[in-house]
Amino acid sequence: MKKPGEYKALLRSITKEWKWLLRYVSKYRAQIILYIVIGVIGTLTGLGVSVASKHLIDAVVNRSAETIFGSAAFAVGFALLQIVLTTLMSRIATLAGTKISNEVRGNIYEHVIFSDWSRIGKYHSGDLLNRIEGDAGAISNSIVTFIPGIFTKLTTFIGCLALVLYYDPTMAIFALMSAPFLVLTSKITTKTVRKYNKQSREINGTILSYVSESVQNLQTIKAFNITNRYVSQMRTHLEHYRSIRLRQDKFSLIMSFCLSVIGLIVSYSCYAWGVYRLWNGAITYGTMLLFLQISGQLTTSFSSLAGLFPSAISIATAAGRIMEITGLSVETDSDGEKAEAIRTTAEADGISVACENVTYTYNDAEQSVLNEISFTASPGETIALVGPSGEGKTTILRLILGLVKPDSGRMTVSTKGGKQLGISDSTRRFCAYVPQGNAVFSGTIADNLRIVRPEATQEEIEEVLKIAEAWSFIDKLPQKTDTVIGERGVNFSEGQIQRISIARALLRNAPVLVMDEATSALDAETEEKVLGNMMKAYPNRTCIITTHRPSMLNYCNRVYRLNESGNLTLYREA
């Protein structure tokens, strides 16, 4: 049983979403107004064709040659104008539609990229893709067709109603017989359409997420011989989606059938009334023809206006999903000017990183993953964070990178001259990062490295590849740095991918290097060469690493151990 007031709450939610949408699309008001104006003129022109046709028929019946030619000229003129306007509207819709669609998708993508990492991270990539493509498409469609369609359909309805009332008010009553049905069913239509729209969008997001994740991990799926299980699960998701669409279609068919039956009754009632009036001599043949045309348009336009309601709910659902994303807090680079002011000093003398009594708790966690931890790392130093997996080492790196903010305590960077700045997205410009796992992008080896420094020369690229001990295998490739890596580093080993990732971080030439299990796939000899090369080439760099490999600790000035309670203690000092 539905709770009292649930329908009102639903209407408030839809109203809120539409208010947001109208504010969001306000910058496209010029295109919308132009489309509306052309649409309204086209609609009025269509009504003009009907009136001119009425006079033409009456002129033929009365054998008035002068009136025949005048009415025919008006009818043909209005018809040609309507064709021109329809063509113009189609072109404007294409021009404006593609532009607006790209801008809306780009704007939502921008919100995803700039959103606070801790907030956007709760959404699966497939769900975000569904919002950027599906929901953004619904919003751009509302700008190009839905909002202008309201005015054109309303113009058709008002124009037809005015003509019918002018010639025969009784006809208007017959033509609007479907109105009570539409009003009475509006409540159930709102709830049902809203429910099915949300369900279909959510399951579509689930399917996209499942496909994205399974394709990315295809090697693992095949290695464990669980391909049949994944295919079976995919079919289950698809069947769930199909069942929702079938229920939605069943509801639409029932409503459409009822409206069609009522429309048939209305049409024949109007026809019968017109015949009766013609039989009595109250109207002319031309007026009879006008009634048949206009009454049909009146019924159709009213049904079209009512049909906009489910579309409005669908668009509001899409807007609500986009609101979730655009409502997330975004990174603003608020300390960008301060960070730029110390960049030159930082490049010359290095950057110190300090963590003072920092506590951090993830949003869905019951207890803190970090508990009043403190450490420092100065230029020329390498410090290591060790401890059991899943105990917060990577979280510390996220704090250093400004991806998350501490619940309490301070994270700062400072220069040799004493300039200090709290860690945020603005201080990320001082850091280079080697992530845990496979983190290369589709494209060539050079493309992957130039992501962090587009202006880097070929010589600079080769230099960092040599430091990372990657040039030894890249130099043997036929296309060398122009070799295409492919999605997720296909055709390259994990060790090779790690060395390319290290080279990319070195190319950034940042004073702070953050490495998360960066050499886990390297053999001891290669690891030793890479670390030795790095320390020799960048003696003034601050390096903070997480590792499970004891061999890495030999290169560290200090080693901090993180325990299960989130406490950090100094484990060893050189």
The 10s digit of each residue's pLDDT in 455-492 is 999 999 999 999 999 998 999 989 999 988 877 777 78
What is the pLDDT at residue 220? 64
Position 542 scores a pLDDT of 92
Average pLDDT over residues 34-54: 80
* Domain positions in the chain: 11-326, 336-573
Residue 137: is it exposed, middle or buried by C-beta count within 10 angstroms (0-12/13-18/19+)? Answer: middle
- pLDDT confidence of residue 436: 80
Read off the pLDDT of each residue in 50-67 and give the average, rounded to a whole number. 73
Spell out a b/e string for 44-67, using b for 16 or more CB atoms within 10 Å of the CB, else e. bbbbbbbbbbbbbbbbbeeeeeee
- CA 12, CA 17: separation in Å to the nearest integer? 9
Q: Which residues contact 558 (CB under 8 A, 6 or more apart)?
A: 375, 381, 383, 384, 570, 572, 573, 574
Say if 11-326 and 336-573 have the same CATH topology: no
**Most confident among 91-95, 194-198, 450-454 (mean pLDDT):** 450-454
Instruction: Tell me how far apart the alpha carbons of residues 191 and 6 are, in angstroms, rounded to a whole number.
Output: 10
pLDDT (average), residues 34-43:
83
* pLDDT (0 to 100) of residue 511: 92
Residues 383 and 375 sit within 8 Å (Cβ to Cβ) = yes
CB 425 within 8 A of CB 331: yes
1 falls in which pLDDT band (50, 70, 90)?
very low
* Number of C-beta neighbours around residue 239 at 10 A: 10
For residue 382, what are the β-bridge partners?
A: 543
For residue 46, the model assigns a pLDDT of 78
Whole-number Å distance between alpha carbons of 135 and 5? 28
In whole angstroms, give the CA distance from residue 158 to residue 160: 6
Average pLDDT over every residue of 182-198: 73
Domain 11-326 has CATH 1.20.1560.10: yes
H helix or E strand, kind and range, residue 544: strand 542-546
pLDDT at 121: 77
Q: How many residues does this entry show for the chain?
A: 574
Q: Take residue 293 and report the two structure tokens written for it.
A: 């045309």
pLDDT score of 170: 75
Give 227's contacts (C-beta < 8 A, 6+ positions apart): 221
pLDDT per residue as tens digits for the range 107-132: 888 888 888 887 887 787 777 888 88
The reply to whether the predicted model has a pTM over 0.75 is no
Which range among 152-156, 267-271, 537-541 shows the weakest confidence by mean pLDDT? 267-271
Q: Is 334 helix (H, G, I), strand (E, B) or coil?
A: coil
User: How far is the first Cα of the chain from the last one, in angstroms, to the nearest whole number?
Assistant: 70
Residue carrying the six token digits 């220069």 = 415
Distance (Å, rounded) from C-alpha 545 to C-alpha 530?
A: 14
d(C-alpha 358, C-alpha 373), whole Å: 5
**Of 74-83, 306-315, 411-420, which one has max mean pLDDT?**
411-420
Per the prediction, the chain carries an average pLDDT of 81
Pairing of strands 408-414, 352-360: antiparallel
What's the DSSP call for residue 3? P
pLDDT at 376 over 80: yes
Distance CA 509, CA 311 (A): 52
Q: Residue 248: what pLDDT?
A: 80
Contact yes or no for 405/359 (Cβ under 8 A): no
Residue 115's region, left for phi above 0, alpha for psi from -120 to 50, else beta, is beta
Residue among 121, 103, 100, 101 at smallest CA distance from 112: 121
**Using an 8 Å Cβ cutoff, are 127 and 205 in contact?**
yes
Confidence of residue 186 (pLDDT cuts 50, 70, 90): low
Q: Are strands 512-516 and 542-546 parallel, antiparallel or unpaired?
A: parallel
Whole-angstrom distance, CA of residue 471 vs CA of residue 465:
5
Q: Residues 318, 21: contact at Cβ < 8 Å?
A: no
Most confident stretch, 55-64, 317-326, 507-516: 507-516
More confident residue, 372 or 324: 372
* Contact indicator for 404, 316 with CB cutoff of 8 Å: no
pLDDT band at 155; cut points 50, 70, 90: confident
Measured CA to CA in angstroms, residue 214 lies from 9, 145, 151, 180, 210 at distances of 39, 37, 46, 51, 6
Give the model's confidence band at 97: pLDDT under 50 very low, under 70 low, under 90 confident, else very high. Answer: confident
Of 181-190, 217-226, 380-389, give the range with the top mean pLDDT. Answer: 380-389
Flag whether pLDDT at 535 surpasses 90. Answer: no
Query: Has residue 270 got a pLDDT over 80?
Result: no
Nearest Cα neighbor of 277 from 171, 174, 175 is: 171
Distance between CA 175 and CA 450 in Å, rounded?
67
Question: What is the rounded CA–CA span in Å between residue 345 and residue 304?
Answer: 67
Give me the sign of the Cα torsion angle 128, 130, 132, 138: negative
Spell out the SS3 assignment of 413-440: EECCCCCEEECCHHHHHHEEEECCCCCC
Fold of 336-573: Rossmann fold (3.40.50)
